[in-house]
Structure 1
Amino acid sequence: MIAAQVLRLVAVSVRRPLVVLLLCLALFAIAIAYAAGNFAMTTDTAALISPKVDWRRDEKAVETAFPQLTDAVLVIVDGRTPELAEAATAKLAERLEHDRAHFRLVRRPDGGAFFDREGLLFGSVAEVRSATAALIEAQPLLGPVASDPSLRGVARALSTALTGVENGSASLVQIDRPIRTMGDALGRSAHGEPAYFSWQQLFAEPGKGLAQPLRRLILAQPKLDHGSLQPGKAGVDAIAGHAAVLDLDATHGVSVRATGEVPLADEELASLEENIGLVGVVMAAAMLLTLWFAVRSAKIVAAIVLTILTGLAITTAAGLLAVGELNLISVAFIPLFVGLGVDFGIQISVRFSAERAEGASTPDALERAAGALGAPLTLAAGAVFLGFGAFLPTDYVGISELGIIAGLGMAIALALSITLLPALLVMLRPGAPRREVGFSAAAPADRWLARHRHAVLWAFAASMLVSIALLPLVRFDFNPLHLRDPDGPAMRALADLTHDPLRTPNTINLLAPNADKAKALAARLAAIPEVAQAISIDSFVPADQSAKLAEIGDASLLLDPTINPFDLTPPPSDGDTIAALKATAAQLRRVAASGQGSAAADAYRLGLIFDRLA
């Protein structure tokens, strides 16, 4: 019955080719008009999963409660010193905040006015005590520099410390660290090498107190263009542009990188956008080459290509009508349709050519081909259609919509292969092949397979059983990040961030109805061995504030007159600076001569550097 229906359609197409051609042309025009007017495609990867899935509902709830965290770009600013990192981040954040053309929101999650004012309180009592003690101990160096913030002031500060060594109130080892650090920086600078000096690191007690961060973060929400293959590209490019204008680069001791869901998604699609033209040309060339080797007739190749293009247009319109909008997965119906359309066209055309080679006319050859292939082609199309139907019962919207469109395309490809293709072949009237289509050199292989068909089938059955037995050894990688290019800039930045325990993106967000329940939930989670840290809204209220404020208050009483002097020394002249450097250099050499070990060597080296600077 199936064969009879196919044969009837082919017969009508053969007898009325012009009518069939005009009908298909009209359908093609309607499809093109509909697709052009209603074409829509989203590159939003979140649209690939059904919003009804539990974790998507939870994700939506979190995004609703914290909209500033969605569609974000995380800007990572690394500096060679804490001062460089902070200054670069502050300047870049300010520029991004004023760039309303590219950004909706810009925030500093680990910096800004709040942390500038309250940041010290987030350390433990021991860390706060250590930090304040280090500053108090550095008071002899801080005072001269605070009243005279110049190279002369630095030299005088060092001279004050050296005087303490000379009169026995301090040891050279106690001030070796600032001498060595200053010598390293000035020595590299004197040799034309990049030199970085940090007062924060200098006054921090090594291994104690609060760590001075060399990394700062900016959270930015760019304005996305979901009609583009890279919706956030303009925002990411704007970040790079602002960083370049501010000279935030390796030459100036700073690096700026962008990662997060927006640049990662853009990066994933960038290679597709870059290579889409080349891929299209290669695919078209491969299709035409395959068709030529299969049928060896330009007219038959033309007929198959026209059939495929017509079917592709109709399938696109039908898909848009069925699902409304294409996504990153459902758009894959295009290569699927082309591949299956080529297969149908080749099977019909090869059988048609074989009938023509035996002397049949074009109409008779097409009807004979339909009679021989009608049932197999229909059954094959039906099997593929049902296979695509298996995509439907899933929460992966991209997959289910691909199943719908590809299934419709399968039916359209079969219908056009038994209507439009025969009509085109009758209209084009390709000549009869001079010899049998195929590769004569492969005939021995065909004969061998025919003779040993049972052995071949048993071999395939055995290999299938072995494959089934090995299935338990298959390991599935559930990490979607491994699907991305590990060498992409955003992916490299993310990989680096995962090794930063304070800023790792490997976190889980949970919503609680109120702050008390959130605090209780965080306490329960923190007790789980697999949880490194649990943070709630209460985590931003520092604990033990009374003890910490007492330590800070005591330090403030001692340090306030030192770092906030009533009188500032007038700026030095070149002569004043030279005199101060020479005097301190001489003092360094005297102290080094009376000392031993690495501290004495460091003092002597700095004395030589001061002499050269003078």
Structure 2
Amino acid sequence: MRRWFIEILIRAADVCARKAWLTIAGVVLVTGFMGYYTATHFSINTNTLDMLDPSLPFRRAARALEQAFPQLKDNIIVVIESDTAVRANDLGQRLADRLRPDRRAFTSVYEPAGGPFFARNGLLYLDVPALEELADTLAKAQPMLGTLAKDMSLRGLLSVLGRSLGEKLDAEEEKILLPIFDSISATIERQVNHQPARLAWKSKLFSGAMPAEAGRRGFVLVQPNLEFSQLESARGPIEKIRAAIAELPLEAGRDRVRLTGGVVMDDEELGSVAQGAEFSSLLSFALVCLLTVAGLRSPRHVVAIVLTLVVGLVWTGAFATAAIGPLNLISINFAVLFIGMGVDFGIQVGLRYKEEIYRGFHHREAVRRTAGGLGGALTLAAVAAAVSFFSFVPTSYQGLAELGIIAGCGMGIALVANLTVLPALLTVLPRWLEWQRPETGAAGKLRAVPVRYRGAIIGVSLLALLGSAATLPWVRFDFNPLNMKDPTTESVATFADLLADPDTTPYTISVLRPDLASAVTLGEKVEKLPSVDKVVTLESFVPADQEEKLEIIDGINLSLGPLLEPAQRQQPARPAEEIAAVLDFKRTLEHSDPNGLSAAAKTSLARLTAALERLQGAPGWPDQAIGQLRDNIISDLPESLEQLRQLLHPELVTLDTLPAELKARYLSRDGRARLEIYPKADLRDDRAMRRFVREVQSVAPDATDSAVELVEGGDAVIEASLQATALALLATGLLLLAVLRRPLDTALILVPLVFSLLLTAASSVLLRIPFDLANIIALPLLLGLSNAYGIYLILRLRAEGQLADLLRTNTPRAIFFSALTEIISFGTLAFSPHRGMSGMGILVTLSLAFAVLSTLLLLPALVASRESRTSPAEAER
């Protein structure tokens, strides 16, 4: 059967060489069709969670959550930051109002703590002491607020401030007035310096009356309609959001609006992945071409191998596109992998062909002898590599499984291409260069090193193995995909900022329960866990102590409400009246009695006097300056007073009166309720995240959401990668044992693989490059890429009989240059702008380097040691 199979390979290579032009014409047609298909159907999925088996329990829980609350998926988080939380939320409300009408671009636009409901009932969400303090403050500010409500102009504002200076100010009055004086001073100073200078009345007078907010940030959650026909599926909605942001009245140095969320990070990451993959493939292709020139020393062979490589790459790309569909961050690297393996086969064929030419055989016979002498080893290497790659398929790491399918089938494509297309190209390409033997005296001496120093090589290797094994307890896995992303991009930097605050962290846990009552009961248990900060259910949005709060608000409204009614407002002041008001106020400041004023009040009034003097002396005074001053100082005062008026008319909040948009995020249409669980610790620490997840799972095993997906997904990747490595090693060993029928030869081939695995793990520890969702594939990938080295060496040894005869052939040279092409192919990934791809490139490069060194040094040293025991004289030859 073996002779029959080899005869098929010989005849196939011979036919392709004999009918070379017909073969090439057929290849061109097929390759052109496959290239067109790939170009029009190729797509990428950058969601790292989609690289995991959807049947895993935590993935099923995530799908259940998505079905119950589809509006929570794929949200763009717009983070608005300003000098006050009030202004940030105001800008957020304006942005939401601009985006909400565009139903074609956005499925939903949600503003937490925004909208008419909170504009009316916001005071009910203050605790009782804070509400009482606000009532006292508003009572003391009542005269000023009453005047401002009637006359919202410079005339009204400056007249009430001037009257306050005619009276002795106590500490509470200073607490109210001095911030206003300082704000007016700062506004005038910025106006004179031609800087943005609008005064924010909401933050100065009524910040305590606004709904509860986190820090100085406002948020708008936007769910875009994704265009899956495009690689960057959210590009259109993101561009529309940025266009709407550009229309907001943002002030430089005061306001900042940033976008983050999984959708935005995926789009940004896709750009770096695509850029990195394109750069790595091109650089890898160029370096491999140069390397084949150095290894083969024949432009004819180099052109033939490169063209064969392109054909195989196109065929494999078409297969991947048709069989897999959208590729992921792991499987997208099939191109780099194929370049390495494809050139490996090409170099083996090319150097063996040259060897036959050196022996005096003509072209057709050299092709036949190459196919007959090397075809078995190539086939075994391809099958062994494919078996290793197919060992990825049974794992739960779907990203690795898809790469295994593509790479495994790619080995068959590479084998067929190099035994058919390559002979045809060698036939038609002109033989205009003389054959040059690559053998040199230095190369011959290097080949003798494993024999002469076999004892030292084996001893050093044993020490390296023991040292590597000792580092295994320190091997670390980083399961957080955020650490694979570029931290300098806007979305990642913003996401990291949100993670630093437990109140805004996107890494929360959600649990579904059949109804709200059971959700509240579970929430009480979860809230007692040490790692949990708070639990939010729909019931959390029903304020406590409402009767007491409503009484306090009624008291405020009784005294202040009538003053805020629109019917009380006077006619707008004329410019001349406002100029007179400014001058009168300046005279009042200059003649105010400093006695009884605190040091802070004296400083504040002196600053305001100086600012008014600068305003009078600036160009454009008075007509142009007064108009600008009115816009800057009055600013949002009318809107702020109207918002305060609304806040004084709340209604009793119940589950039924909560906004529908809010209820839909915590109570599904079929009645299921969601608990949202917030961590107490900073979840940028992986250990804190794991502790948080495990504690919640101890009382809610069906917990899901981002934090659970990261921890469980990381564990699944570790398990899948170790399983794939073990399966690949076992399958390769069984295949070699079945084909070679010699346990010792099988063991010799496996030794470099085990050696490389341990050294790669040790390198991860020593170089402080933790394994992650991308570079963890270095371990199982190593077996598929490098088991061919030992196969080539051992099969050629069996053909030649003695190690010394093997070392005189082109096989060691072919192995060296084949390995070097694979090292270069993956080494180019180290320059990828994507951190995950870069780390993968480093670890795979190191693992391949360990593999080729152990194959060309340790393996011959072991063979030489064996021969020395059976025939000392032959071993020393």
What's the TM-score, normalizing by structure 2? Answer: 0.65
Count of residues paired in the alignment? 612
Aligned residue in 2 for 1:233? 235
Q: Is the 8 A contact 1:11 1:367 kept in 2?
A: yes
Aligned residue in 2 for 1:123? 126
Give the drift of 1:222. 1.7
Aligned residue in 1 for 2:94? 91
Deviations 1:168-204 (A, max 9, x none): 8986566333323333333333333444533233235
Give the drift of 1:542. 1.4
Distance 1:447 1:467 in 2: 27
Give the drift of 1:23. 5.8
Aligned residue in 1 for 2:390? 389
Q: Is the 8 A contact 1:131 1:209 kept in 2?
A: no
Give the drift of 1:606. 1.6
Q: Is the 8 A contact 2:184 2:608 kept in 1?
A: yes
Q: Is the 8 A contact 2:281 2:336 kept in 1?
A: no
Give the drift of 1:401. 1.6
Tell me the SS of whatever aligns to 1:52. coil
Instruction: Tell whether 2:352 aligns with 1:336.
Output: no
Q: Is the 8 A contact 2:142 2:560 kept in 1?
A: yes
Matched residue type, 2:504: R
Give the drift of 1:295. 1.4
Q: Is the 8 A contact 1:151 1:577 kept in 2?
A: yes
Question: 168-177 or 250-259, which moves further after superposition?
Answer: 168-177
Distance 2:84 2:423 in 1: 75
Distance 2:579 2:427 in 1: 100
Aligned residue in 1 for 2:287? 286
Aligned residue in 2 for 1:202? 204
Q: 1:250 to 1:293 in 2, by over 3 A?
A: farther
Give the drift of 1:259. 0.7
Question: 548-557 or 248-257, which moves further after superposition?
Answer: 248-257
Q: 1:487 to 1:60 in 2, by over 3 A?
A: same
Q: Within 5 A, what are the aligned runs for 1:472-483? A: 472-483=473-484
Q: 1:170 to 1:374 in 2, by over 3 A?
A: closer
Aligned residue in 2 for 1:464? 465
Instruction: Tell whether 2:153 aligns with 1:150.
Output: yes
Q: Within 5 A, what are the aligned runs for 1:92-107? A: 92-107=95-110
Give the drift of 1:403. 0.6
Q: Within 5 A, what are the aligned runs for 1:250-329? A: 250-251=251-252, 253-274=254-275, 277-320=278-321, 322-323=323-324, 325-329=326-330
Q: 1:325 to 1:481 in 2, by over 3 A?
A: closer
> What is the identity percentage for the equivalent residue pairs of Structure 1 and Structure 2?
33
Distance 1:212 1:47 in 2: 32
Q: Is the 8 A contact 1:74 1:217 kept in 2?
A: yes
Deviations 1:374-418 (A, max 9, x none): 343333222211211221122222211211121011122123322
Aligned counterpart in structure 1 of residue 57 of structure 2, from 54, 57, 79: 54
Distance 2:96 2:133 in 1: 31
Distance 2:249 2:444 in 1: 68
Distance 2:108 2:193 in 1: 44
Q: 1:405 to 1:25 in 2, by over 3 A?
A: farther
Aligned residue in 1 for 2:644? none
Query: For structure 1, which runs of at least 5 residues remain unmatched after alignment?
Result: none
Q: Is the 8 A contact 1:189 1:195 kept in 2?
A: yes
Q: 1:604 to 1:326 in 2, by over 3 A?
A: closer
Aligned residue in 1 for 2:162? 159
Instruction: Tell whether 2:521 aligns with 1:520.
Output: yes
Q: 1:18 to 1:128 in 2, by over 3 A?
A: farther
Q: Is the 8 A contact 2:147 2:156 kept in 1?
A: yes
Deviations 1:423-466 (A, max 9, x none): 33234364675431267655543344442233223322321221
Distance 1:590 1:532 in 2: 55
Q: Is the 8 A contact 1:356 1:362 kept in 2?
A: yes
Distance 2:253 2:466 in 1: 63
Matched residue type, 1:228: Q
Give the drift of 1:325. 5.0
Aligned residue in 1 for 2:599? 597
Aligned residue in 2 for 1:113? 116
Aligned residue in 2 for 1:74? 77
Distance 1:101 1:596 in 2: 59
Distance 1:368 1:90 in 2: 77
Distance 1:25 1:330 in 2: 31
Give the drift of 1:505. 0.8
Q: 1:563 to 1:470 in 2, by over 3 A?
A: same
Question: 15-24 or 576-585, which moves further after superposition?
Answer: 15-24
Q: Within 5 A, what are the aligned runs for 1:481-500? A: 481-500=482-501
Deviations 1:341-362 (A, max 9, x none): 1001001101211232232222
Question: 590-599 or 464-473, which moves further after superposition?
Answer: 590-599
Distance 1:12 1:176 in 2: 94
Distance 1:252 1:31 in 2: 56
Q: 1:377 to 1:341 in 2, by over 3 A?
A: same
TM superposition outliers: structure 1 runs of 4+ over 6 Å: 168-171, 205-209
Deviations 1:10-31 (A, max 9, x none): 3442255245774675477457
Aligned residue in 1 for 2:222? 220
Q: Is the 8 A contact 1:141 1:160 kept in 2?
A: no
Deviations 1:140-163 (A, max 9, x none): 321221111112222112123223
Distance 2:174 2:318 in 1: 83
Matched residue type, 1:136: A
Q: Is the 8 A contact 1:104 1:223 kept in 2?
A: yes
Q: 1:169 to 1:40 in 2, by over 3 A?
A: closer
Matched residue type, 2:55: K
Tell me the SS of whatever aligns to 2:503. coil
Matched residue type, 2:495: L
Q: Is the 8 A contact 2:122 2:209 kept in 1?
A: no
Instruction: Tell whether 2:562 aligns with 1:575.
Output: no
Q: 1:527 to 1:307 in 2, by over 3 A?
A: same
Distance 2:143 2:335 in 1: 75
Q: 1:325 to 1:147 in 2, by over 3 A?
A: closer
Distance 1:107 1:160 in 2: 44
Distance 1:133 1:285 in 2: 76
Distance 1:30 1:596 in 2: 90
Give the drift of 1:372. 4.0
Tell me the SS of whatever aligns to 1:236. helix
Deviations 1:508-562 (A, max 9, x none): 1111110101111111111111101100011121111111111111111111123
Matched residue type, 2:203: Q
Give the drift of 1:267. 0.8
Q: Is the 8 A contact 2:24 2:424 kept in 1?
A: no
Give the drift of 1:212. 8.5
Q: Is the 8 A contact 2:45 2:326 kept in 1?
A: no
Q: 1:15 to 1:454 in 2, by over 3 A?
A: farther
Tell me the SS of whatever aligns to 2:423. helix
Q: 1:16 to 1:69 in 2, by over 3 A?
A: closer
Give the drift of 1:566. 4.0
Q: Is the 8 A contact 2:214 2:503 kept in 1?
A: no
